[in-house]
Chains A and B, each alone.
Chain A
Amino acid sequence: MISMLGRGLVLAALFFAATGCFAGFWAGSRRNQRAWEWARNSAYGFSASMILANLAMVYALLVRDFSVSYVAEVGSTTTPLWLTIVSLWASLNGSILFWGGILGVYTALTVYSLGDRYREYTPWALHVLMGISIFFAFLVASIANPFAPIANPPLEGPGPNPLLQNHWLMAVHPPMLYLGYVGMSVPFSLICAALLAGRLEAGWMVPVRRWMLVPWMFLSIGIVLGGWWSYAVLGWGGAWAWDPVENASFHPWLTGTAFIHSAMVLQRKGKLRDWTLVLGMSTFLLTLLGTFMTRSGVFNSVHSFTQSDIGPVFLAFIAIVFVYSIVLLALRSHVLDEEARLTDARLGHRGSSLASVLSRDTAILLQNAAFGAFTFMVLLGTVYPLLAEALQDRRISVGEPYFDRFALPLGLMLVFLMGIGPSLPWGRSAPETAMKRLVPSLAVGTLFAVVALVTGYNKPMTVLALFLVGFALWGNLFEFIEPVTQRMRARKEGPGVAAIKVWGKARRRFGGHIAHYGVLCAVFGLAMSKGYRHEQELNLNTGEVAQFLDYEITFAGARDDSETHRISSVARFEVAGLGAFEPKVNTYTSGGRMAGQPIFTPAVHSTPTYDLYFSILQISQDKTNVIVRLIYEPYQVWVWFAAPIIALGTLIALLPPRSSRASSVKPAPVGEGSRS
């Protein structure tokens, strides 16, 4: 029953995607009003069908309808409620369906938010977006069909993968990543629309940039949460191992970040246009590549537990999108030249001619180059083992020591540029002005470095990292506060009023600064926790006391805890002054072929200044002996802080500018307007 309903909805989605793609093309090339309405309604139809298909699957999971193939694959009568819902992305077929659902949500929001403005572009955007949708609807309808009916449904299913069952973060991290990945279809479509329409006005860059920011934010959150999950479950006390699938999510983040910055130069100056378009299109391509890496099992990686024959089909789609992007850029980007209307009329008198070396423009240019090189390096290191195997039949590993070696200088350079960019004005600045801006930043950076040295954090790389964090922090903070004090002086306003006026007026800029603080938090946390990590393995018998750094640790004994879906071996440690730590090794009763594998829950004591981490390596059969890994990591939690701060900054940048809302309510007073 649900099988038929779900299948029907997916086929409807496929139909709507196809008609939307066709109607979008028609409306774009013929400027046909009816075709436009047709395209728009098809897009809404696709969204509704895909979202309903997802709801049908969730319902099937909830009522444990094992006659639906996907439920029989991952469902189980013993799984708790939250886990049953989360099972939607527990395995390949469900996660492709989920992908389609998110694509539906994005499609509807895009169509709705663009409305009837930008009529030159929107039909083309829908044409491309629906083209992408055809592929995913086709996947769900054919090789990844989760709704296949099962003639003799089993009475019980295997339950979802134990990894999914083990931590609540698995309910949050995958959807965030999906929202990031899938959402990149939207800026890709909007960029293609500009190329297809043969024009690119500054006005169109507004939705392009905003629609890049939305998935970029989710991708950022998803990546940090993935690191947190790794830390909380894998037992090695680290967040990032340069695993191919971690890298897969990092590639689009790198190019997306570069895009967000170069798009500012494009909007403001009409420069870096083709490069910005390439970045935007690559970001989407890299999300597809990332999905392929995750889902095809090509890397035999930890995340590739959902392997199937979907790989070749996905690879073919990537090839099509790649060729399509190149052809589109080659054939159409010169058309944009003729219609170059990018320079905003209001900025015209300033925007045309002011590029100079000491400028934010140059800083962003360098930043883009660094991000480009970074992406290339990670991509190369990630795919090289495949290359070596294909060409010379050698099994090569490229791991953490390799990536760390290259990522460290590139990362530090990016932090440096993050401090320079906001401090320099657009256009040009006299060297003495530039120095005047940078000297305080240098001073704060030096202060950070000195504090690090005095407090005993004296490894050169840590000191350098802290110097750069201080440098960049001040550069951004100053730019955050300076306009307020300027306004207070110029207008004789109080600090509160001035702050609200200034920050409210330039949300994009200040949102960006806040996102920078988030990144700096992560850099600080990584520099400290990686540089001053202490680790020790202890082999203890019940009652034995041992010393780890300044901590006195007693192994109080071990026991087995039984729950409905798992059995946990729990070791209890007492730490003088901190209380008890109870790391676990869990064995799940359900989960198909993964059932019975030990999965860890380390015990972590987190404080703003340090984490103390207990992870069981081995418990003897009679529970009297334990081998435990103890890790001390200073300032580890600062890495997690990055996610909410970046999200906050992005949301502030995404708020619609107040001026447009204000002007729709009442015209700005003449006196206000003459000031600029």
Chain B
Amino acid sequence: MSMLSLLVGASLAQTPAEPTVASATAPPATAPPATAASGEFLIRGLPPGPPPPPETVEQTAREIGLQLRCLQCQNESIADSNSNMAKDSIALVRRLVAAGYSEDQIKDHFVESYGEGILLLPSPTGLNLVVYVGPAIGAGLALGLVLSTVVQWRKEEDDVPLPSDVGLAPKDRYEQRLLAELED
């Protein structure tokens, strides 16, 4: 949603600080992972794991990108957005994945740089539990209401066959009722 992000971005005083990674000096995705010997890791102070097979990088990066919000946009992930900022962010994710960082490490890095609002799936801690427990409580309540209503209905029911049903086989009885219902 890039033009949207631009529209919104214009009114938002929310331009985030540069990430801790200096993208200009970062190696391209195909380069070998940065090592302690070269002076600095892609994420400062955090050594990456073994790099994944190159052909999986794009897919993994997209999956992570779908969980990270483009800050210029409203509720749009950096994987989907066309905005410049999202393009830079997803490129960074690609480099980090290629370097061997895990999904959690990358997400943590983004949270550190931009705050927890970057996560489209809020972490289930503290007040955030509201959005996880809430639907469960809602569903439980709804189910309880259904059960009590059905019990109520069954109590009211007095199992007398319809006058028109008497003497008919169950199947015919059903068909009879079906035809009758159509007359309503």
B146 pairs with A366, CB closer than 8 A? yes
CA distance A589 to B97 in the complex (A): 41
Q: List 26 A-B contacts (CB under 8 A).
A: A234-B82, A235-B1, A244-B75, A302-B74, A350-B162, A350-B177, A350-B180, A353-B159, A370-B142, A373-B138, A380-B138, A384-B122, A391-B127, A392-B126, A396-B117, A398-B121, A398-B122, A400-B120, A402-B120, A426-B177, A436-B171, A505-B182, A505-B183, A598-B6, A617-B82, A675-B183
A-side residues, CB < 8 A to B, are 162-163, 234-236, 238, 241-244, 268, 271-272, 299-302, 305, 346-347, 349-350, 352-357, 361-362, 365-366, 369-370, 372-373, 376-377, 380-381, 384, 387-388, 391-392, 394-402, 405-406, 425-430, 432-433, 436, 482-483, 486-487, 490, 502, 505-506, 509, 535-536, 593-594, 597-600, 615, 617-618, 629, 675-676
Query: Do A397 and B117 have beta carbons less than 8 Å apart?
Result: yes
Contact yes or no, B138 A241, CB < 8 A: no
Contact mask B149-184 → A, CB, 8 Å, 1/0?
A: 110011011111011000000110011011111111
B-to-A contact residues, CB < 8 Å: 1-8, 10-12, 58, 62, 66-67, 69, 73-77, 80-82, 87, 115-122, 126-128, 130-131, 134-135, 138-139, 142-143, 145-146, 149-150, 153-154, 156-160, 162-163, 170-171, 174-175, 177-184
> Top 9 A-B pairs ranked by shortest CB distance?
A399-B120, A355-B153, A395-B117, A369-B142, A302-B4, A401-B121, A376-B138, A236-B80, A377-B135
Contact across chains for B75 and A242 when beta carbons are under 8 A apart? yes
For the complex formed, measure the closest distance between the CB of B143 and the CB atoms of chain A, giving whole angstroms.
6
Q: Taking A163-B3, A377-B135, A598-B2 as contacts, is the C-beta distance between A238 and B80 under 8 angstroms?
A: yes
Residue of A nearest to B12 (CB): A300
B3 contact set on A, CB distance < 8 A: 162-163, 597-600
Contact B120 A387 (CB under 8 A): no
Cα–Cα distance between A256 and B131 once the two chains are bound (Å)? 23
Given A234-B1, A302-B73, A486-B175: A394 touches B146 (CB 8 Å cut-off): no
- Contact for B131 among A234, A372, A398, CB less than 8 A: A398
In whole angstroms, how far apart are the Cα atoms of A425 and B170 in the complex? 13
Residue contact A402 to B143, C-beta cutoff 8 Å? no
Bound: A206/B69 CA distance, A: 46
What residues on A are CB-neighbors of B178 within 8 Å? 425, 482-483, 486
Cβ of B157 and Cβ of A353 under 8 Å apart? yes
A406 to B132, CA, bound (A): 9
Whether B118 and A397, one on each chain, are in contact in the complex, defined by CB atoms closer than 8 angstroms, is yes
Closest to B59 in A: A535
User: Once bound together, how far apart are the Cα atoms of A430 and B171, in whole Å?
Assistant: 10
Cα separation A234 to B81 with both chains bound (whole Å): 8
- Chain A residues, CB < 8 A from B163: 349
Which of A365, A427, A487 has a CB less than 8 Å from the CB of B146? A365
Contact A425 B142 (CB under 8 A): no
- In contact, B182 and A509 (Cβ under 8 angstroms): yes
* Cβ contact within 8 Å between A594 and B7: yes
Assess the B135–A376 pair: CB atoms within 8 A.
yes
User: Is the pair A429, B174 in contact by a Cβ cutoff of 8 Å?
Assistant: yes
B contact residues around A366 at 8 Å (CB): 146
Rounded to whole angstroms, the CA-CA distance of A425 and B145 in the bound complex is 22
Indicate whether A433 sits within 8 Å of B174 (C-beta atoms), given known contacts A271-B153, A372-B138, A380-B130. Answer: yes
Contact of A300 among B8, B118, B154, B162 (CB under 8 A): B8
